[in-house]
Structure 1
């Protein structure tokens, strides 16, 4: 085979698998090479294993659309069919506080990850010859970092640090304003139900950030894939950029700066459906996003048909469904937290506040020089623990891949996704602690 240096671009030669996928690739190669029988508990990626929403499953099993039944599967409009766009609007409206009715323009796309790419193409880059970045909070969902590298878009990340009590420190408004003045970003992106940290951003904080964006005339972007998955009892309405009122943030409706990234993956247990949407209150941004996406033609007509089943559901049914998920994940995250802290009290584990993730920092329990990526690769390539006669290993995600900036504790942190069955998730604390001790004993 010819040398890849002469065949592939610098980007292709330099790219490495995502931190949320790498361990599963290494483990798969391990099994193919050795033929070893070992059960991998994969909590490296947010790949939901729960059954999907019943109405969507019914749509798949009992197709009523005549053309789909005949096998006539044509392109749809680039922005997606009307019924699935109405579905995304219905989901958002089901979370709105009384009296709020923002104008929404929606465009369906192939999963939230592709929406991220489209948003970054639209809100940052060259502005009349001036290169303007997008601003985010660090750590941030790793796909944003990868997409920024792919597109050549600059990301300005605001440092956050994981405290010893398992909480991330608040970001001061003055710090954000100083960065805006120094770096001249064109947009500020937040993840209210934070991935990877599992931190919940309150509506009050979102409102403060909105005021800053209005003041500096920049886009306010929110990744709301986990909207409604919060576990604090003092929260009555789901924090969201769409729950910003004119009374709290004067000028928010006229500013037309809001953009949200939506997904069916988490709220409706449909990761493989690859159904997401860009939602904005800026009609011109919507039109240009649609124009840019005509290159990619349209999302899957079959996936859109399945997703649009939600449009026939009552808003109360949607809220009851998400309420049941909230109850489920709160229990799973709490059990994970207690399990880890019971087995190894000096571990730093994030408090279960939002989303489906927990970050674990082992800095207090490992020898100097520990590298989470090496530990993760050890678990994937050779680690093994026997529980009740079954050999297991554990796949988690090294947190360094979620940091845009250099963080002094990134190399001792990992992210765990609570995506498996209750029975499998109960194994995670024991597997993590035993594999960590096994790995540390092998290190010099």
Structure 2
């Protein structure tokens, strides 16, 4: 199993905190936005006498309400097309186990969410990367590059939209191109859409579940973690109209018994969150993004692609080894007793020796903290190179 580039430096951070350091944690997508109060109240104000199992697919009431939520967002599904999972992570594990056997292949544009490597490893699946480039803003690589990689062992193309770690938001044309190639080769198109709401500058998110003719090929992964700032709930969702896929995934769901009860109660209540909550959140993240990107572009030698969604960006630094730099920031550097924590980007690639001079930054801190982080990073790069 590969280590998580997001979490493997935690021991260094813990040691720095024990020394009294203040750390601006830009390494992990843990929003500081408040969880909707109605979700928390649903857990606090319940009259449960026995904390029992739920259905293996999740509460029927939650699935029906969630199906209506999707329908309101032009994703027409029924409750039978949904399986509630323990986070989007479990949904991805169920998917890989359902569509691929050991030795089968999944094509993924890189850089990609680092845990895809871990999910593939635990399922015996081989990740076949197709590289997107910072110079192109991490846009979808030419479709011919996907076609060149398809073999008899290829089972799916997996995308994250909007992307983690790049923040790239796929266009309708790009989604359609992927739809055509998976239909041509009878593959699955798996889309991790947990950042669906986070699209900026009026850009629109296009779901694989909304494409006519893709019903047997499309699999959607979703989660409440980012949408409602409920990472600790560990509630996700697997959605597909392919009945064979869902019947197979249900076996995995039964094997782990059920998703957590209290978290489902909170997630069901969260569906009543008013649109004004999301409007404010999107405005806040858009402002944070602009602050971060402007600050990074102002540092000599730093290259960054402007994200159109999610709340991450990849920054290319004027150094050779971003992991060594990230450790050094925590072990040896401080500016007025403050430092920053970033995620080395090499772990978001499958191709060896790629992304060695890049880091992923999550703009989940308030703007004044982002400005301070940029100032610290600018000084740190000068001192590190010296």
Gaps of 5+ in 1: 1-14
CA distance in 1, matches of 2:120, 2:214: 28
Residue in 2 that maps onto 1:331: 287
TM-score, structure 1 as length reference: 0.82
Correspondence 1:239 to 2:217: no
Larger Rg: 1
Residue in 2 that maps onto 1:403: 349
How far is 1:143 from its partner? 0.3
TM-score, structure 2 as length reference: 0.94
Residue in 2 that maps onto 1:383: 333
Correspondence 1:38 to 2:25: no
How far is 1:216 from its partner? 0.9
CA distance in 1, matches of 2:358, 2:152: 28
Residue in 2 that maps onto 1:392: 338
Residue in 2 that maps onto 1:53: 36
Gaps of 5+ in 2: none
Aligned partner of 1:415 among 337, 349, 360:
360
Q: How does 1:56-205 map to 2 (within 5 A)?
A: 56-63=39-46, 66-67=47-48, 70=49, 72-96=50-74, 101-102=76-77, 105-126=81-102, 131-163=103-135, 167-180=137-150, 182=151, 184-205=153-174
Report if aligned partners of 1:123, 1:134 keep a CA contact under 8 Å in 2: no
Residue in 2 that maps onto 1:20: 6
Residue in 2 that maps onto 1:6: none
Q: How does 1:236-275 map to 2 (within 5 A)?
A: 237-244=204-211, 246=212, 251-253=213-215, 256-275=216-235
Secondary structure, counterpart of 2:306 in structure 1: coil
CA distance in 2, matches of 1:372, 1:29: 20
Q: How does 1:279-318 map to 2 (within 5 A)?
A: 279-311=239-271, 313=272, 317=274
Report if aligned partners of 1:223, 1:261 keep a CA contact under 8 Å in 2: yes
Which range moves more in the overlay, 295-304 or 79-88?
79-88
- Cα pair distance change 1:103/1:209, threshold 3 Å: farther
Report if aligned partners of 2:340, 2:373 keep a CA contact under 8 Å in 1: yes
How far is 1:102 from its partner? 4.5
Secondary structure, counterpart of 1:186 in structure 2: strand
Give the 4+ runs in structure 1 shifted more than 4 A: none
CA distance in 1, matches of 2:378, 2:249: 46
CA distance in 2, matches of 1:26, 1:183: 44
Report if aligned partners of 1:136, 1:157 keep a CA contact under 8 Å in 2: yes
CA distance in 2, matches of 1:372, 1:106: 40
- Cα pair distance change 1:278/1:101, threshold 3 Å: closer
How far is 1:407 from its partner? 5.4
1:52-95 Cα offsets, whole Å, 9 max, x none, are 123212213322xx32xx3x101111111112222432332232
Report if aligned partners of 2:82, 2:239 keep a CA contact under 8 Å in 1: yes
CA distance in 2, matches of 1:307, 1:81: 11
Report if aligned partners of 2:139, 2:168 keep a CA contact under 8 Å in 1: no
CA distance in 1, matches of 2:66, 2:332: 44
Question: What RMSD in Å do the two structures reach over aligned CA positions?
Answer: 1.9
How far is 1:169 from its partner? 4.7
Report if aligned partners of 1:198, 1:358 keep a CA contact under 8 Å in 2: yes
- Cα pair distance change 1:82/1:222, threshold 3 Å: same
Residue in 2 that maps onto 1:12: none
How far is 1:242 from its partner? 2.1
- Cα pair distance change 1:151/1:242, threshold 3 Å: closer
- Cα pair distance change 1:395/1:228, threshold 3 Å: same
CA distance in 1, matches of 2:112, 2:98: 19
Residue in 2 that maps onto 1:373: 323
